[in-house]
Amino acid sequence: MSVPELVTVSVDGREVQVPKGTGLVETALAAGIEIPVFCYEPRLGPAIGACRMCLVEVEGMPPKPQAACTLTAQDGMVVKTALTSQLARNAQNATLEFILVNHPLDCPVCDKGGECPLQDLTFRFGPGRTRMTFPKRTFDKPIPISPTISLDRERCILCYRCTRFSESVAEDGELVAVNRGAQSMIATFEDEPYRGRFSGNVTELCPVGALLPTTYRFEARPWEIQTVPTVCGLCPVGCNVNVTTREGKVKRVLSRNHPDVDGGWICDKGRFAFGHLGARDRIVDPLRRQRRRGLQPAGWDEAVDEAERLLRAAQGRIVTALSGSETVEQAYGLAKLMRTGLGAHTAVLPEEISDAVDGFRLPLSAIAGAELIVVVGDDPVEERAPIVDLWLRAARRNGAEVVTTGVGGGAKACRQLAGEDDELGRRLRESDRPVLIWSGSGGAGGAHVAACAERLGFGSKPDSGVFYLPLTPNGRGVVEAWSAASDDEGPDPDPIGLLFVSGDEAASDPSVRSLAERADAVIATTMFQGSAVGWADLVLPGTSYLERDGTFVNLEGRLQRLRRAVVPPTPDELAWISQLAGRFGVEVSPYPSVVFGELSERIFGGLPYGEVGERAALRGREPTGELRAPAPAATPKGRGLRLVRYRPLFSGAAVERVPELAFQRPAAEVQLSPQDARRLRIKAGDEVDVRSNGTSRRLRARIDKGLVAGVARIADEHAEELQATVEVARA
Amino acid sequence: MTEPWWISLIKAFLIINLVMLAFAYTTLLERKLLGRMQLRYGPNRAGPYGSLQPIADLIKLIRKESFFPSSAIDLPYIVAPVISMFTALAAFSVIPFGAGWHLWHWHVDGEIANVSIALIVVFALGSLGIYGFIIGGWASESKYSLLGSMRTCAQLVSYEVSLALSVLGVVLMAGSLSLVDIVHKQGTTIPYAAPQVIGLLCFFVAGIAETNRAPFDLPEADTELVAGYHTEYSGMRWGLFQTAEYINMITLSALMVTLFFAGWHGPYAPLGPLWFFLKLLAVVSIFIWLKATLPRLRYDQLMRFGWKVLLPVATLNAVVTAALVVAF
Amino acid sequence: MPQPLDTVKGFGVTFKQIFKKPITQEYPEVKRPVYPRFRGRHRLWRFENGLEKCVGCSLCAAACPADCIRVVAAENTPDNRISAGERYARIYEINMSRCIFCGYCELACPFDAITLGNEYEISEYARDDQIYTKDMLLAPPIKRTPVADAELYDTPIPYYKEHA
CA B254 – CA C93 distance, rounded (Å): 63
pTM: 0.80
Contact criterion met (CB below 8 Å) for A541 and A285: yes
C111: nearest CA in chain A?
A: A108
What average pLDDT does the segment A692-705 reach? 83
pLDDT tens for each residue of B191-248: 888 888 999 999 999 999 988 887 888 777 766 656 677 778 878 888 888 888 899 9
Residue A348 pLDDT > 90: no
Mutate which: A109, A119, A224, A249, vs C, most C CBs within 10 A: A109
Q: Are B87 and B128 within 8 A, CB to CB?
A: yes
**Cα A400 from chain centroid?**
23
- Tell me what pLDDT residue B227 has: 67
Touch of A by C (3+ CB pairs closer than 8 Å):
yes
CA A653, chain centre distance (Å)? 16
pLDDT tens digits, one per residue of A114-144: 999 999 999 999 998 889 899 998 888 888 9
With H, G, I as helix, E, B as strand and everything else as coil, classify residue B121. helix
In sequence order, the 6+-apart residues with CB closer than 8 A to the CB of C46 are: C52, C53, C138
Give the one of C55, C62, C85 whose C-beta lies nearest to A223's C-beta. Answer: C62
- Protein fold of C44-121+128-138: Alpha-Beta Plaits (3.30.70)
Q: For A438-452, b where at least 16 C-beta lie within 10 A, e where not — what string? A: bbbbbbbbbbbbbbb
pLDDT mean over A460-472: 87
A109 → closest Cβ in C61, C62, C87: C87
CA B29 to chain centroid: 16
What is the average per-residue pLDDT within B123-143? 87
Q: Do A221 and C55 touch (CB under 8 A)?
A: no
Residues in chain A within 8 Å Cβ distance of C68: none
Contact assignment for C11 to B41 by CB distance below 8 Å: no
Q: Residue count of chain C, please give it.
A: 164
Please tell me the distance from the alpha carbon of residue A320 to that of residue C60, in angstroms, as a whole number: 54
Domain boundaries, chain C: 44-121+128-138
- A225-241 residue pLDDT tens: 999 999 999 989 999 99
Q: What is the DSSP string of B207-224?
A: HHHHTT-TTS-GGG-HHH
- C14 to chain B, any CB pair closer than 8 A? The answer is yes
- Judging contacts by C-beta atoms under 8 Å, the chain C residues touching residue B289 are 11, 14-15
Provide, as residue numbers in chain C, all residues whose Cβ is less than 8 Å from the Cβ of A224. Answer: 58, 61
Q: In which band, very low, low, confident or very high, does the pLDDT at A631 lie, cut at 50, 70 and 90?
A: low
Mean pLDDT within A529-549: 88
What pLDDT is stored for residue C94 in this prediction? 93
Q: What is the pLDDT of residues A439-464, one digit of tens each?
A: 887 777 788 888 888 888 888 888 88
Tell me the pLDDT tens digit for each residue of B167-191.
998 999 888 899 988 988 888 888 8
For B92, B250, C17, the CA distances from B21, given in Å and listed in that order, are 14, 11, 28
Mean pLDDT of A397-406: 86
Amino acid at A145: I
Specify which residues A643 forms β-bridges with.
A712
Residues in A touching C74 (Cβ below 8 Å)? 218
A693: left (phi over 0), alpha (psi -120 to 50) or beta: left
Q: Is B71 left (phi over 0), alpha (psi -120 to 50) or beta?
A: alpha
Report pLDDT digits (tens) over B76-85.
888 888 898 8
Neighbours of A594 (CB within 10 A): 16
User: CA torsion, points A34, A40, A42, A44, in degrees to nearest 10?
Assistant: 160
Which chains would you list as touching B if contact means 3+ CB atom pairs under 8 Å?
A: C
Comparing CB atoms, the residue among B41, B289, B293 nearest residue C24 is B41
Round to whole Å and give the CA distance between A72 and A70: 7
Q: Can you give the pLDDT at residue C100? A: 95
Q: Is B301 on the interface with C (CB under 8 A)?
A: no
The C-alpha atoms of residue A252 and residue A270 are separated, in whole angstroms, by 10
Give the model's pLDDT for residue A568: 93
| Kind and range of the H or E run holding A66 | strand A66-67
Q: With beta carbons under 8 A apart, name residues in chain A contacting C55.
A: 108-109
pLDDT at A563 over 60: yes
- CA C86 to chain A, closest CA, distance in angstroms equals 7
Confidence class for position A430, pLDDT limits 50, 70, 90? confident
A402 phi and psi, to 5 degrees? -115, 120
Across the interface, of C61, C62, C86, the residue whose CB is closest to A109 is C86
* pLDDT for the residue numbered A380: 83
Residue C117 forms contact with A (CB below 8 Å): no
Contact C57 A109 (CB under 8 A): yes
From the list A114, A218, A221, the residue facing C75 with the nearest CB is A218
Chains C and B are in contact, defined as 3 or more C-beta pairs closer than 8 angstroms: yes
Residue A190 has pLDDT above 90, yes or no: no
Contact residues on chain B for C10, CB-CB shorter than 8 A: 293-294
The confidence band for B298, taking pLDDT boundaries of 50, 70 and 90, is confident
Residue C66: strand, helix, or coil = coil
Q: In a 3-state reduction of DSSP, which class is residue C79? A: coil
Per-residue pLDDT of chain C (164 residues; tens, 9 = 90+): 567 788 888 888 888 989 988 888 888 888 888 888 889 999 999 899 989 999 999 999 999 999 999 999 999 988 888 888 889 999 999 999 999 999 999 999 999 899 998 888 888 899 999 999 888 877 787 777 777 776 666 555 666 556 65
- Tens digit of pLDDT for each residue in A597-625? 988 888 887 888 887 877 777 777 776 66
For A667, counting Cβ atoms within 10 Å of its Cβ (0-12 exposed, 13-18 middle, 19+ buried), the class is exposed
Beta strands across the sheet bearing A294-297: A294-297, A287-290, A538-541, A521-526, A498-502, A318-322, A346-348
Mutate to test the interface with C, among B31, B38, B204 (most CBs of C within 10 A): B38
Question: Within an 8 Å CB–CB cutoff, is residue B289 touching chain C?
Answer: yes
User: ipTM surpassing 0.90, yes or no?
Assistant: no
Cβ-based contacts of C17 with chain B (< 8 Å): 36-39
Among the residue ranges A82-91, A638-647, B52-61, C129-138, the one predicted with the least confidence is A638-647
